[in-house]
Amino acid sequence: MKIAYLDCFSGASGDMILGALVDAGVAIGDLSSDVSRLGVAGLGLKGKRVGRRGIEATKVDVVVPPGDAPHRHLHQIEKLIDGSALDPDVKDSAVAIFRNLARAEGKVHGIPPEKVHFHEVGALDAIADIVGAAAGFRRLGAAEVRASALPLGSGTVECEHGTIPVPAPATAELLRDVPVVLGGGDGELVTPTGAAILATICRSFGEMTPLRIERIGYGAGTRDRERTPNVLRLVVGETDAGGTADRVLCLECEIDDQSGETLAPLLDALSRAGALDAYFTPVVMKKGRPGHLVTALVPESARDAVERALFAGTTTFGVRRTVADRRILERMHVEVETPFGRARMKVGLLDGSEVTRSPEFADCEKLSRESAAPLRDVFDAVRAAYAALRPR
């Protein structure tokens, strides 16, 4: 599976994202053509090679026709995008980015998203950045886009509303549940436009998963910083063939002072909080005490909720976090008819071919309870019905 990984060691902005896409192989002519499909005469992109502290990179600038109105409402931007000649999926991605940006701005200013009056990000250059990014990632052809943790910078930044702290309030709102580091350099390192693009397009944030690197691109920002190269690195590569590569958190704690009856409800609580899986393992702890290791596999988006469930449901004073890379099969459900009723068979696929299957337990349990038949008989009936469907 092809992965696009954005290494944001120096932050992220719209022009840096576009530059990295072009440097990684997306033709600037194609990207400019995509932006011109907005139907605004004279609007396009141009690229050039620049140096940033010893690293050669691509700088992409937006060509804006004179007389642009820098302020637009969300509905005006949506109308511009929806009425354009862009491909439908590029339209959907670009509109989703602007809606996320509107929700963040609305939350900061205490107004509904549709009432947000975009200032800098309502100008044509910001619109071109977002549409260009949506089109560029489509042209790149990666199955998933991922990114590193984001350094936010420090200090203050000037905007339409005056002097505000870094990160800008809308940027901070956009990056809820995204791993960030305050610092990494003076000034604003992640712009609202960059944050909106990454928060919408990226499937996950964190360390780069193992992959075979095919292409590397560097996109330059406008400033030439004193120490760190002001570039964004885009790495494109293949994960292991077949299945889907993904990354989860492994949250753990040991318990030796809690009874089984009070610990038992925890698994359901962890599942409701968003854990992908949760289980207990018997362990021997310090001073020879028997106890339990509680383990939960969790997507980054559910980390806080699951940790709260662990603290609420156990006596632990701390939770360990480790990152776990996974390779998971593609999955599909096939519904079959049995003498007890309809149930699903869960099927695992590798490279499009079936490698494993299992009756869906919840369906079988329900049919067993309703029919008073032994659970094993329902399982056997589902397997038999599924086998009858498969070509010989």
Residues 117 and 64 reside in one and the same domain: yes
**Cα-flanking dihedrals φ and ψ of residue 194, to 5°?**
-60, -40
> How far is residue 7 from each of residues 18, 56, 117, 197, 198, measured CA to CA in Å?
14, 16, 32, 14, 12
pLDDT of residue 239: 78
pLDDT tens per residue across span 346-371: 999 887 788 999 999 999 999 999 99
Q: Considering only CA atoms, which of 299, 306, 362, 319 is closest in space to residue 146? A: 299
Domain end, chosen from 304, 327, 350, is at 327
The rounded distance, in Å, linking the Cα atoms of 116 and 110 is 10
Whether 340 and 216 share a structural domain? no
DSSP 372: T
Domain boundary among 215, 238, 261: 238
Alpha carbon distance 271, 311 (integer Å): 14
Confidence of residue 255 (pLDDT cuts 50, 70, 90): very high
Question: Among 46-60, 65-79, 96-110, 187-201, whose mean pLDDT is lowest?
Answer: 65-79
Give the Cβ contact number of residue 110 at 10 Å: 6
Q: Which of 178, 190, 177, 205 shows the shortest CA–CA distance to 151?
A: 190
**Most confident range, picked from 58-62, 66-70, 104-108, 160-164:** 58-62
Assign 392 a pLDDT band (cuts: 50, 70, 90).
very low
The answer on 207 and 352 residing in a single domain is: no
Asked if residue 212 and residue 278 are part of one domain, the reply reads: no
Considering 305, 327, 349, which residue would you say is the last residue of a domain? 327
The reply to whether 216 and 361 lie within a common domain is no
* Residue 76 buriedness (CB in 10 A; 0-12 / 13-18 / 19+): middle
User: Does the pLDDT of residue 96 top 90, yes or no?
Assistant: yes
**Judgement on whether residues 104 and 212 belong to the same structural domain of the protein:** yes
User: What secondary structure letter does DSSP report for 115?
Assistant: G
Please tell me which residue, 227 or 159, carries the higher pLDDT value: 227
Dihedral (Cα; 177, 184, 200, 327), 10-degree rounding: -70
* Domains identified in the chain, total number: 3
C-alpha–C-alpha distance, residues 186 and 374, integer Å: 67
The CATH number linked to 337 is: 3.10.20.300
Is there a single domain that holds both residue 126 and residue 86?
yes
User: What is the pLDDT averaged over residues 281-302?
Assistant: 93
Range of the domain at 251: 245-327
% helix / strand / coil in the chain, to the nearest 5?
Answer: 35, 35, 30
Rounded to whole angstroms, how far apart are CA atoms 163 and 276? 43
Selection from 132, 71, 59, 153 nearest residue 105 by Cα:
71
In the chain, the amino acid numbered 54 is G
Q: Give yes or no: residues 136 and 267 share one domain.
A: no
Which amino acid would we find at residue 64? V
| Model confidence at 157: pLDDT above 50 | yes
Residues 99 and 215 placed together within one structural domain of the fold: yes
pLDDT at position 318 is 95
Q: What per-residue confidence (pLDDT) applies to 278?
A: 96
CATH number of the domain to which 268 belongs: 3.30.70.1380
Distances (CA, A) of 39 to 44, 64, 81, 85, 210: 10, 12, 9, 7, 41
- Show the CA angle centred on residue 28, arms to residues 23 and 30, nearest 5°: 130
276 compared with 207, residue with greater pLDDT: 276
Q: What integer is the mean pLDDT of 163-173?
A: 86
Q: Examine the domain organization and report whether 185 and 282 are in the same domain.
A: no
DSSP 65: -
**CB 320, CB 251: distance < 8 Å:** yes
pLDDT in tens, 25-60: 999 999 999 999 999 999 999 999 999 988 999 999
- For range 295-302, the mean pLDDT: 91
Q: How far apart, in whole angstroms, are the C-alpha atoms of residue 59 and residue 47? A: 6
Judged by DSSP in three states, 365 sits in helix
pLDDT confidence bin for 121, thresholds 50/70/90: low
pLDDT category, 244, cuts 50, 70, 90?
low
Residues 213 and 308 placed together within one structural domain of the fold? no
d(CA 84, CA 335): 41
341: left (phi over 0), alpha (psi -120 to 50) or beta: left
pLDDT given at position 166: 82
Residue with tokens 């505000």: 164
C-alpha 345/C-alpha 347 separation (Å) is 6
Residues 290 and 345 in one domain: no
In angstroms, the CA 126 to CA 105 distance is: 15
DSSP 289-304: -EEEEEEEEE-GGGHH
- Per-residue pLDDT at 161: 65
Q: Is the link from the previous residue into 167 a cis peptide, with omega within 30 of 0? A: yes
Asked if residue 262 has pLDDT above 60, the reply is yes
pLDDT over threshold 90, residue 119: no
